Chains A and B, each alone.
Chain A
Amino acid sequence: MAGATTMHLGGNHAARFENKAATSETPLVKWTILAIALTFFTVFLLMPLIAVFVEAFRKGWETYVTALVDPDALSAIKLTLLAAAVSVPLNLVFGVAAAWAIAKFEFRGKQFLITLIDLPFSVSPVIAGLVFVLIFGAQGWFGSWLIDNDIKIIFAVPGIVLATVFVTFPFIARELIPLMQAQGKEEEEAAVVLGAKGWQVFWYVTLPNIKWGLMYGVILTNARAMGEFGAVSVVSGHIRGQTNTLPLHVEILYNEYMFSAAFAVASLLALLALVTLVIKNWVEHQAARSYRDTQESAS
């Protein structure tokens, strides 16, 4: 979000910078840099995106639709949606709680907690998956107890949800911590002095102030939850129709040389990503606007 704001505010600034003879570069430099950037953009971002859709429709509409309504594909869609539907609300609660604790209270080990929140970002998703296998798998710490009680976590839906929650954990907290720290405690203090109870302070004062940041975090969490491959792949066991998410399903189809079907399912994920981007942009715009208001009222 901070990036978004700089971009929005940067607009005028860049124009002024550009129009001054003293600070503007020669056209040659300008166009060379532009050309390099555009080439990169086309080769690495635009072409793959187009390729996904071209390949998906290569064998026509019918093959496309067939690939999507295949029972295994439908089950993968369902599981992906379920993983997202569980991990987003969970991380919403964790993220807000963690950010609240870090931004509004002073306690020992705060820096350590902030570092810990970043762990899922820094650790490879495969390791994240393996950790859960080691804890809950048949040979893991709780393995025998889980088997005795007939609870399946690894190679089952709970494992996939767990892995997804783990890898998406930092998104909301990371988004909210700097925002809440910047806002400080004064408005909350004002509310308490005016007689508001804890939940009233949160609901009427804190939440409205962080809503755009929160929304942004939710969108990122959702995007990652639907697209996660590594961690989920390790704990899933790839049981068709049962423990395959959309990304895993794409891999299986591809490995079986069903390219059109693989790209058809992939196009669905790509479409989700595009929709996410549009929503994200809109939220960023709103956030930048409310940020500007805040700046004005602070000055």
Chain B
Amino acid sequence: MSIQVKNIHKQFGAFTALDDITLDFPTGELVALLGPSGCGKTTLLRIIAGLEQADSGQILLDGDDASSTHVRERQVGFVFQHYALFKHMTVFDNVAFGMRMKPRGQRPSEAKIKDKVHELLKLVQLDWLADRFPSQLSGGQRQRIALARALAVEPRVLLLDEPFGALDAKVRKELRRWLRKLHDELHITSIFVTHDQEEALEVADRVVLMDHGKVEQIGTPEEVYRHPATPFVYGFLGSVNFFHGRVEGETVRVGDDTLPHEPHDFDHGAEVVAFARPHELDIDTDPASTAGIAARINRVLAFGVTARVELDGINGSTGQHFEVEITRERVLELGLKDGQAVRLIPSRLKVFEREGASA
């Protein structure tokens, strides 16, 4: 089932949680709503579920306006960050709950319910836990039970609110992969909220990036990572080095140094921020060189295949820290030492106009 969000606006007192959001979630996709805490992603998910009312705007489920439909009738599956399992019920009763609450006419027989519960528990690979209580399960197991419970009512869409947020790093990674596999089997339209960019990029078909109640960018993980549309997206997805400067013809002047940059539609003298990822910077040890940005090596961390070099800016970018990722061989080849003055040469540079500076 497709979900369309049209001009949704939500205000909490003076705080604008969602500012005129319009989005389209096509059938069968697994979409991540990604953003820092307080960006409105959870509120949007709760509005889609019907747990929260928007101040204005529409939610269309399969093309029908669901704004006035009660949560109960929306046929959504919702998975909470803290599981929200019924503490006083066994795993079996938790999963059976949705089916047992149906009106007498639509309620399946106990035998059917039993089959269905076991089928779902097998799907989440926890069939052997049917008689346990939630307090006897680990966090990862609880979240899988919560997912089985949500699937029991055969929802048309699955909404997950930071489903792995309360789990430790290792379990989170496992469950991520597992969720992706499950989605490939079920093909149910799913939206999950997360603040973990790695999680979003790894699991989702598409990523919706949000900040301050607005959508910043929508795209496949590849698209948003390779071609960030805004400085926010650039900074949010992975580590990044940035240089404040001014456009001077073909170059960006940063303090006393200049960076080459492809002709762009920036005016001469425009205040800009240039971004480069750690692996998009190279180090030049030639003392006579004047290309790139001057920096001093602070620390070289060379334990993995790739080495991380931490540097401090000098000449105009003083006080700034940079991070460069190069291969271990390259570190040895250059003979990098702590305290050495070098120059940073970006292989790729993304330039944005500085916010508020143009006005």
Question: For residue B98, which residues in chain A have a CB less than 8 angstroms away from its CB?
Answer: 194-195
Judge if B242 is at the interface, Cβ distance under 8 Å.
no
* 8 Å CB contact of B78 from A193, A205, A209, A296: A193
Q: What are the interface flags for A15-42 relative to B under an 8 Å C-beta threshold, 1 for contact and 0 otherwise?
A: 0000000000000000000000000000
DSSP majority for the A interface? helix
Question: Whose C-beta in chain B lies nearest to the C-beta of A205?
Answer: B86
B266 in the interface, Cβ–Cβ < 8 Å? no
Q: Which residues of A contact B80 (CB under 8 A)?
A: 186, 189-190
Return the contact of A208 from the options B72, B76, B88, B135 (Cβ within 8 A).
B88
Provide the A261-299 mask, 1 if CB < 8 A to any CB of B, else 0. Answer: 000000000000000000000000000001001101110
* CB interface residues, B 75-125, toward A, < 8 Å: 76-78, 80, 82, 84-88, 97-98, 101-102
CA of A97 to CA of B135, assembled, Å: 29
Pair B88/A194 contact, Cβ less than 8 Å: no
How many residues from A make CB contacts under 8 Å with B?
22
How many interface contacts (CB-CB < 8 Å) are there between A and B? 71
Contact with B along A200-217 (1 / 0, CB 8 A): 100011001100000000
Contacts of B82 in A (CB 8 A): 186, 298
Q: Which residues of A contact B135 (CB under 8 A)?
A: 293-294, 296-297
Q: Which residues from chain B contact A187 at a C-beta distance below 8 Å?
A: 84-87
Q: Tell me, yes or no, whether A253 is within 8 Å of chain B by CB.
A: no
Q: Whole-angstrom distance between the alpha carbons of A247 and B335 in the complex?
A: 94
Q: A191-B97, A293-B133, A298-B82 are in contact. Are A196 and B72 (CB under 8 A)?
A: yes
- Inter-subunit contact A197/B101 (CB<8 Å): yes
Using A293-B87, A293-B133, A297-B85 as known contacts, say yes or no to A193 and B102 having CB atoms under 8 A apart. Answer: no
| Of B76, B85, B87, the contact of A193 (CB 8 Å cutoff) | B76
List A contacts of B150 (CB < 8 A).
193-194
A196–B49 CB distance below 8 A: no
Chain B residue nearest to A293 (CB atoms) is B135
Taken together as a complex, chains A and B put the C-alpha atoms of A231 and B102 apart, in Å, by: 49
- Smallest beta-carbon distance B166→chain A, Å: 10
Contact check: which of A194, A290, A294 meets B97 at CB < 8 Å? Answer: A194
Are A297 and B134 within 8 A (Cβ)?
yes
B51 at the interface (CB under 8 A from A): yes
**Chain B neighbourhood of A297, CB < 8 A:** 85, 87, 134-135, 142
Establish whether residues A193 and B97, one from each chain, have CB atoms under 8 Å apart when the complex forms.
Answer: no
Whether B153 sits at the interface, judged by CB under 8 Å, is yes
Which residue of A190, A195, A204 is within 8 Å of B102 (Cβ)?
Answer: A195
Contact of A186 among B84, B102, B133, B152 (CB under 8 A): B84
**With an 8 A cutoff between CB atoms, is B1 at the interface?**
no
Within 8 Å by CB of A195, from B72, B84, B133, B134, lies: B72
| A197-B72 contact given A189-B51, A293-B135, A297-B134, CB 8 Å threshold | yes
Tell me if A192 is interfacial: C-beta within 8 Å of chain B.
Answer: yes
In chain B, what residue has the closest Cβ to A298? Answer: B82
A200 to B, closest residue via Cβ: B101
Smallest CB gap from B72: residue in A: A195
Closest chain B CB from A75 CB (angstroms): 43
> Which residue among A186, A193, A290 has the maximum number of chain B CB atoms within 10 Å of its CB?
A193
Min Cβ gap A205→B in Å is: 6
B149 interfacial by beta-carbon distance below 8 Å: yes
Q: How far is the CA of A193 from the CA of B146 in the complex (A)?
A: 12
CB–CB B101/A193 < 8 A: no
| Bound Cα distance from A193 to B78, whole angstroms | 7
Instruction: Decide if A190 touches B88 in the complex (CB within 8 Å).
Output: no
The reply on B71 being an interface residue by CB < 8 A is: yes
B-chain residues with CB within 8 Å of residue A204 when the two chains form the complex: 86, 97, 101
Set B84, B87, B142: member contacting A294, Cβ < 8 A: B87
A124 to chain B, nearest CB (A): 41
* Beyond A192-B51, A200-B101, 19 additional pairs, beta carbon < 8 A: A186-B82, A189-B80, A189-B84, A190-B78, A190-B146, A191-B86, A192-B72, A193-B76, A193-B78, A194-B149, A195-B98, A196-B101, A204-B86, A204-B97, A208-B86, A293-B87, A294-B87, A296-B135, A298-B82
Query: Which residues on A are within 8 Å of B, measured CB to CB?
Result: 186-187, 189-197, 200, 204-205, 208-209, 290, 293-294, 296-298
Q: Which residues of B contact A (CB under 8 A)?
A: 49, 51, 71-72, 76-78, 80, 82, 84-88, 97-98, 101-102, 133-135, 142, 146, 149-150, 152-153
6 pairs, A vs B, C-beta closer than 8 Å: A189-B78, A194-B98, A195-B153, A196-B72, A197-B101, A293-B135
Closest 7 CB pairs of A and B: A194-B98, A186-B84, A297-B135, A190-B84, A196-B101, A208-B88, A193-B78
